[in-house]
Amino acid sequence: DAKTTQPPSMDCAEGRAANLPCNHSTISGNEYVYWYRQIHSQGPQYIIHGLKNNETNEMASLIITEDRKSSTLILPHATLRDTAVYYCIVRTGANNLFFGTGTRLTVIP
Amino acid sequence: DAEITQSPRHKITETGRQVTLACHQTWNHNNMFWYRQDLGHGLRLIHYSYGVQDTNKGEVSDGYSVSRSNTEDLPLTLESAASSQTSVYFCASSPGQKETQYFGPGTRLLVL
């Protein structure tokens, strides 16, 4: 699975959009981009995933660049409960999810 | 609602004791996984199973074993607990190999 690069931390004002970037320059054609988050002391929570096209669900939007070397997770209206560590993962469907160190998002009141 | 549960949520044990952590899912998923999470290492795969009677070693399997006698459960056994196995353990399941993994709430294990 390709490795990813994420900023270690970010702040976002409550009610504003949170845009979390991820670089995955070595991604191959059949690798999906997955996003999980982990709220303190809880199990990782699946957010969204995509291959080439942008994706949206009830939690977030995923924007993948045309060359697929980077992506952005967008939380449209961040709340205090969105404070968590966000992990960007690329995978081919192998059994292992490589979580890395993620981005610690702090939503500020 | 279907879910994945882990028990106990917290466990303290002594070095050398055998410990079993339970994982139960009601989604009827074929695939189940055990990870451990330590500061500075993210989540690391211990063992996984693609179905009943199937088990496979992951990245950090030494000192751990699993068995899959039914679809719903994948217990993780520490044969002889060591202080290095103090960690938070997460179980996950997915419908298939290329499907999303869903995680349980975790078990905090302290080995004294």
Residues in A closer than 8 angstroms to B100, CB to CB, are 34, 46, 49
* Residue-wise pLDDT tens digits, A27-86: 888 888 999 999 988 899 999 999 998 999 999 999 999 999 999 999 999 999 999 999
| pLDDT for B100 | 87
Q: How far apart are CA A97 and CA A102, in angstroms?
A: 13
The number of CA neighbours under 13 Å toward the Cβ of B81 is: 19
Q: Looking at chain B, which residue has its C-alpha nearest residue A92?
A: B98
Backbone angles phi, psi at B62, to 5 degrees: -60, 130
Average of per-residue pLDDT across B54-82 = 96
Backbone angles phi, psi at A82, to 5 degrees: -85, -5
- Helix, strand or coil for residue A46? strand
Q: Please, which residues bridge with residue A97 across strands?
A: none
| pLDDT for B2 | 65
Q: How far apart are CA B45 and CA B61, in angstroms?
A: 8
Q: How far apart are CA B2 and CA B28, in angstroms?
A: 9
| pLDDT for A93 | 60
Please, which residues 78-107 of chain A have a Cβ atom closer than 8 Å to chain B? 87, 93-102
Average of per-residue pLDDT across A18-33 = 91
Is 80 exceeded by the pLDDT of residue B12? Answer: yes
* Residue-wise pLDDT tens digits, B14-67: 999 999 999 999 999 999 999 999 987 778 899 999 999 999 999 899 999 999
